[in-house]
Amino acid sequence: MNKEKAITYSLLTHIRNFGTLVKGPIDIFIPLIKRTLSKMNSKGIFKGKSLLEIKNTANELYCIDFPIPVLKKILTEISKEINTDDTIHFVLYQDGAFSLNQYTFTDFEEIIENQTKEIDEIEVLFKSFCESSELKIENSDSIFKFIEKNKFNLSKYISNSEYKNGEDFTAEAQFIDFFKKIPSIYDRIKNIYLGSIISTYLEYNSDDANRDIELLFDTNFLVGLIDLNTPESTHTCRTLLEIAKKQNFKIRVLKDTIEETTNLLETKARFFDKSFLQKKVNPEDVYNACDRRNLNKTDLERIADNLETTLGKLEISIIYNTDKLKGEAKYTEEYKIFDSLRASKKSALHDAIAILHIKKARKKRFRDFDKVNAWFVNNSASIEGNNIFMKNGYQPETIKADDLLNILWLSNPTVNKAIEGHDLADIGLTSTLSLTLNSNLPKSHILRELDDNIHKYAKEDISDTDIIRVATRITNKQLKDIEELNELAEQEDKTLFVKRLEEEANKQKKIEEIRIKKLESLFKNISIRTEELEKSKKEYIDKSKSIDKTVEEKDDVKSEVSKLKESLLLEQNRNRKIKRDEWIKSQVKKWRTKTWIEFALLLTILISRYFIHSLSIKLEYFKFY
């Protein structure tokens, strides 16, 4: 099931990227339903009593659900497109019944065949990767379930469906993280991801109404915004900020959030010279960004000091007066929940204040995403923090930056044009990888203690490369007993600590060597397949362009014929008018001539009668005399 859906998602991305006649969200799904009708017709189905027959076939072919109202719209568009004056291929009746006649649609069969091979190759690669990395998995197609995971996160917002998944996707996340460096594979993964997001068009009904929306940024969002997280995180935060400005959203931050961010950066600066392991375990750590940007302790302190000024330049409004909110937040249910989740009471209170502010801004609870007017936006929410406030189908107060971008991309044509599909896929996948790999990592103080111990007792005996390998095993959750390692460092014989580190480093080195050797032969086969596929895709694109050109030329001809018919009709009407006017003129002339003749005859008769009468009077007169 996961694999079939992955093929559908890849196909949707292909249609969006190369379908030149795609003008709206529904158009992307038209080829899928055309193919459904063609498959039904080829099986001898020429009519049906209900749309459910088409829906069930489509669901079976693509493993995604087509809601009846959306399916009806798609079928209406198809009937307009494929029916001609000579042949009626498809008719949809008012009662939902339909008829099919001699309809064939095979445009995407070759593409689907190639994509099926691509999906199979990803599954084989994933299986080999896990075997060579000592990672246990139940089903090799779980990689596709992980890729579409973010779709279900979005469904929580756009269709009120709660998605709870306690599965550990560490192996899947490691696989994608490893192959991010190999475009031929990562592009396929991005296509599946983007297709899964596109498929949510089917369940999202935007009312297109303009609303005043407020975004309140969290601490981790600010850290990403000022480029002290990963480059991908910075891209996500800055993209959302840019979109928010263009959409005239209210962009705000609490003074408490600025204080929390400043304290975080000052703490990082304080331990700057003692950190090495932490930044290797967590790629999102501030130290990692400092490494990437060549920042030192003083630079970090300066960034912390100037944070408020920096946010002002980014046109982010600061909410200074939060004392009243703080007093109320201490007694909320949210504070109790955060107090059990966060590292400190101050951090818990900060989050409770933010949630309370959003509740007051909304004034009431909403079920529909489109009606929500305020969000608390974070950049790397934990699973609990992201879902805990969604109860009974009401929208939560918090949302991840990438989730918000995804939904805006789906619902707003302006945003859709502003963000490229591959960028959106990068943003979403990076966020999903980060959440998965960082979940259940050892607590920061335990890592800091291990970092200190390595710095004190093993720095001279173990290389930086080996420390990175140890960090990799911690990230991959293959080295979990960190506290036990720290206990070894406390013993009098420090060589036991060093020896254990070397053992872990060697384990990772061995895994990496086996993995590369095992995957090398697979890469060669995939490379050959990729060249063939690219050639096939190019042929298809050229064919599609040719078909599109023919369709456009046909439309132009139809338009020209229509214009000629219109001109002919106008000319015929003009001629009819001229003839009608001439006929009326001749009739009037005849009428006038006839009238004058009749008048002349009448006048002649009258004059004649007058003369006769006058003559008779004169004769009577003469007789009398």
Q: Is the pLDDT of residue 227 over 90?
A: yes
Going from the C-alpha of 375 to that of each of 37, 505, 611, the distances in angstroms are 43, 44, 111
pLDDT in tens, 571-597: 777 777 777 777 677 776 776 776 667
More confident residue, 477 or 198: 198
By the 8 A CB rule, do 421 and 12 touch?
no
| 519: phi then psi, degrees, rounded to nearest 5 | -85, -20
pLDDT in tens, 446-478: 777 887 888 777 777 788 788 888 888 887 778
SS3 251: strand
Q: Is the pLDDT of residue 173 over 70?
A: yes
Per-residue pLDDT, 492 = 79
| 363 and 219 share one domain | yes
The least confident of 6-10, 28-32, 131-135, 225-229 is 131-135
Percent of the residues in the chain that have a pLDDT greater than 90, as a whole number: 32
Give the integer Cα–Cα distance in Å for 586 and 592: 10
Q: Angle, nearest 10°, between helix axes 495-624 and 444-457?
A: 140
| 453 and 420 share one domain | no
More confident residue, 157 or 608: 157
pLDDT in tens, 433-448: 888 887 767 777 777 7
Give the integer Cα–Cα distance in Å for 472 and 282: 9
In a domain, 545, yes or no: no
In a domain, 160, yes or no: no
pLDDT in tens, 232-283: 899 999 999 999 998 899 999 999 999 999 999 999 999 888 777 776 777 7
Residues 165-194 have a mean pLDDT of 86
Is 4 exposed, middle or buried, given 0-12, 13-18 or 19+ CB atoms closer than 10 A? middle
| 232 and 348 share one domain | yes
| 452 and 398 share one domain | no
In a domain, 88, yes or no: yes
In a domain, 126, yes or no: no
Among 460, 489, 512, residue at a domain's last position: 512
Per-residue pLDDT, 87 = 86
Q: Angle, nearest 10°, between helix axes 255-270 and 286-293?
A: 70
Q: How many domains are there within the chain? A: 3
Among 400, 420, 438, residue at a domain's last position: 438
Q: What is the mean pLDDT of the chain?
A: 82
CATH of the domain at 72: 1.10.10
* Residue 385 tokens, joined: 């923090």
Per-residue pLDDT, 308 = 95
Confidence at 386, pLDDT banded by 50, 70, 90: very low
By the 8 A CB rule, do 97 and 49 touch?
yes
Confidence at 201, pLDDT banded by 50, 70, 90: confident
Most confident range (mean pLDDT) of 130-144, 344-358, 539-553 is 344-358
Per-residue pLDDT, 552 = 57
By the 8 A CB rule, do 248 and 422 touch?
no
**Of the candidates 219, 160, 522, the residue with the CA atom closest to the CA atom of residue 377:** 219
In the DSSP assignment, the letter for residue 442 is P
By the 8 A CB rule, do 105 and 38 touch?
yes
| 430 and 478 share one domain | no
Q: Return the number of other C-beta atoms located less than 10 Å from residue 318's C-beta.
A: 13
Per-residue pLDDT, 217 = 97
pLDDT in tens, 364-381: 999 888 889 999 999 874
The reported pTM is 0.74
| 475 and 326 share one domain | no
By the 8 A CB rule, do 339 and 355 touch?
no
Q: Is the pLDDT of residue 153 over 80?
A: no
Per-residue pLDDT, 303 = 97
| 400 and 470 share one domain | no
The least confident of 71-75, 176-180, 212-216, 413-417 is 413-417
Q: Return the number of other C-beta atoms located less than 10 Å from residue 243's C-beta.
A: 19
More confident residue, 256 or 623: 256
| 62 and 86 share one domain | yes
Please identify which residue in the block is written with the tokens 């001439």. Answer: 582
* Residue 90 tokens, joined: 């498809």
Per-residue pLDDT, 540 = 47
Domain coverage including residue 482: 444-512
Among 106, 130, 147, residue at a domain's last position: 106
Per-residue pLDDT, 84 = 85
| 10 and 63 share one domain | yes
Give the integer Cα–Cα distance in Å for 414 and 14: 21
For 271-310, letters b (16+ CB in 10 Å) and e give: ebeebbbbbbbbbbbbbbbbeeeebeeeebbebbeebeee
In a domain, 555, yes or no: no
| 379 and 491 share one domain | no
Which residues partner with 251 through β-bridges? 215
- Could you tell me how many helices (H) and strands (E) the chain has, helices first? 27, 8
- Residues whose CB is less than 8 angstroms from the CB of residue 613 and which lie 6 or more positions away in sequence, other chains included: none
Per-residue pLDDT, 384 = 45
Confidence at 207, pLDDT banded by 50, 70, 90: low
Per-residue pLDDT, 385 = 46
The least confident of 283-297, 345-359, 553-567 is 553-567
| 471 and 401 share one domain | no
| 431 and 459 share one domain | no
Residues 30-53 have a mean pLDDT of 92
In a domain, 501, yes or no: yes
In a domain, 41, yes or no: yes
The least confident of 139-143, 294-298, 528-532 is 528-532
pLDDT in tens, 316-328: 999 999 999 999 9
In a domain, 141, yes or no: no
Q: 60-69, long-range: CB within 8 Å, 24+ apart, which pairs?
A: 61/32, 61/35, 61/36, 62/4, 62/5, 62/8, 62/32, 63/1, 63/4, 63/5, 63/8, 64/5, 64/8, 64/199, 64/202, 65/202, 65/203, 66/29, 66/33, 66/202, 67/202, 67/203
